[in-house]
Amino acid sequence: MSHLHLPDGIFPIWVVVISWLIAIPLLYLACHFVVRWGALRRVALLGVVTACVVLAMSVGVGIYHLNLLVLAGVLLGPALGFLTAFSASLLLALFGHGGLSLVGLNSIITGVEPVMGYFLFHAVRRRWPQFVRIAAALATVLALAISTTILVGVFFFAGFDTGIYTALERHDGERWMDDAGNQRHGHESSPVQGHGAHESMHGGGAEEPSTRHGLLSLLLITALLLWPLEAAANAFILHYMSRVRPALIVGSLNSQALESSASSGRHAELP
C-alpha cells in the first residue's frame, strides 16, 4: 500500500531533491552492510526476490497489488531488502509504473518495509518460534503501518504543490491567498512560481485542509482494508517456506546471527 506510484510532477522539486539526498547514502550504507555481514552470497537471491516483487507489483487487482517487500526483508535481511526496494522501484519506474524522479522517495518509503519486516518478524519468531504465520502477519501489518505513516507524512508536509495552482488560478481569475493569509486577486504576481514552492497549494491555506484530509482519509481507509490481504499472503508464503525450506528463512539472518542460531539449535523445532 505504501508504494506511491505517483507520477512525476506531483510533488515539489524540493521533496524530490531531499528524498534523493537521503536515498543515496542509504543505498551506499546498504551495500556496505551487505559486504560487512557477508551476505554477498545472497545477491543472486536478491535478483529473484526483486523479480518477484516487480511481478507482484505489476499484476494488480484493480488499483491494488501485493508488495511482498516484507517477505523480501525476511528472506534477504534488511540491507539486501532495502536494495530490493530500490531496484524494484527503479525497474517499475522505467516501465511507466511511478515517476522516475520519485524513485528515491519510493525507495525510502518502501525500503522501510523490508527493514522493519525483518526485525519485527525475527523479534516475534525468537519468542514464539512455532507461530510463523502470526509473526509474518504481525510484521507485515506493523511494517505497512510504519511505511504508510511516512507516506502520509510526506503528503501532509509536501502536498502536491508544483507552483502551477497559482498560475492557473490566476488565469481563471480566482482568488488565492498568500502565506500570511491575506487574500489577493488574479493579476497580482505570485509569491511563488515554478517548482520548489509548497506554501501555496490549492491557492493557499483556505482549501488546503479539506483536500488534503480527503485524500489522506481515502489513503488510510484503503490501507486498512488492504493490509490484511498483504499480511495473509506473506503469512501463508512464509509458513509454507518454513515447512518446505526452513533454511531459507533462517539463512536470511546475518552471518553472526546465523552462527549463533545454528549453535543454539533455535530452529531445530521447525517442521
Positions 152 through 191 that interact with other proteins (CB under 8 A): 160, 162-165, 167-172, 187
By CB under 8 A, tell whether 18 contacts other proteins: no
23 binds other proteins (CB under 8 A): no
Tell me which stretch binds other proteins (CB under 8 A): 108-116, 117-125, 206-214, 260-268: 206-214
Whose Cβ is closer to other proteins: residue 78's or residue 265's?
78
Of these, 15, 23, 26, 46, which contacts other proteins (CB under 8 A)?
46
Minimum distance of other proteins from residue 34's CB (angstroms): 6
Q: Which region, left, alpha or beta, applies to residue 175 given φ > 0 means left and ψ of -120 to 50 means alpha?
A: beta
Cα–Cα distance for residue pair 61/232, rounded to 1 Å: 15
CB of 47 to other proteins, least distance (A): 3
Distance of alpha carbon 245 from alpha carbon 98, whole angstroms: 34
Candidates 138-146, 175-183, 214-222, 262-270: pick the segment binding other proteins (CB under 8 A): 214-222
Among 210, 255, 256, 260, binds other proteins (CB under 8 A): 210
Instruction: Tell me if 200 sits within 8 A of 176, measured CB to CB.
Output: yes
Q: How far is CA 182 from CA 77, 130, 175, in A?
A: 52, 62, 10
85 binds other proteins (CB under 8 A): no
CB 50 within 8 A of CB 84: yes
Considering beta carbons, is residue 92 or 120 the nearer one to other proteins? 92
Residue 195: phi and psi, rounded to 5, are -80, 165
Q: Does 134 bind other proteins (CB under 8 A)?
A: no
Which residue stretch of 106-114, 125-133, 140-148, 232-240 sits at the interface with other proteins (rule: CB under 8 A)?
232-240
Return the number of the residue (147 or 234) whose C-beta is nearest other proteins.
Answer: 234
Q: Which residue has the cell 488492504?
A: 226
Closest to other proteins by CB, 210 vs 265, is 210
Residue 21 engages other proteins in binding (rule: CB under 8 A) = no
Q: Tell me the closest approach of the beta carbon of residue 46 to other proteins, in angstroms.
A: 5
Give Cβ neighbours of residue 17 (< 8 Å, ≥ 6 apart). none
Q: Cα Rg for the chain, rounded, in angstroms?
A: 22
Q: Which is nearer to other proteins, 193 or 260 (CB)?
A: 193
**DSSP one-letter string for 201-239:** GGGSTTTHHHHHHHHHHHHHHHHHHHHHHHHHHHHHHHH
Among 17, 22, 90, 152, binds other proteins (CB under 8 A): 90
Q: Which of residues 91-130 bind other proteins (CB under 8 A)?
A: 91-97, 99-101
List CB contacts of 32: < 8 A, sequence separation 6 or more. Answer: none
For the four alpha carbons of 122, 127, 129 and 134, in that order, the dihedral sign comes to: negative
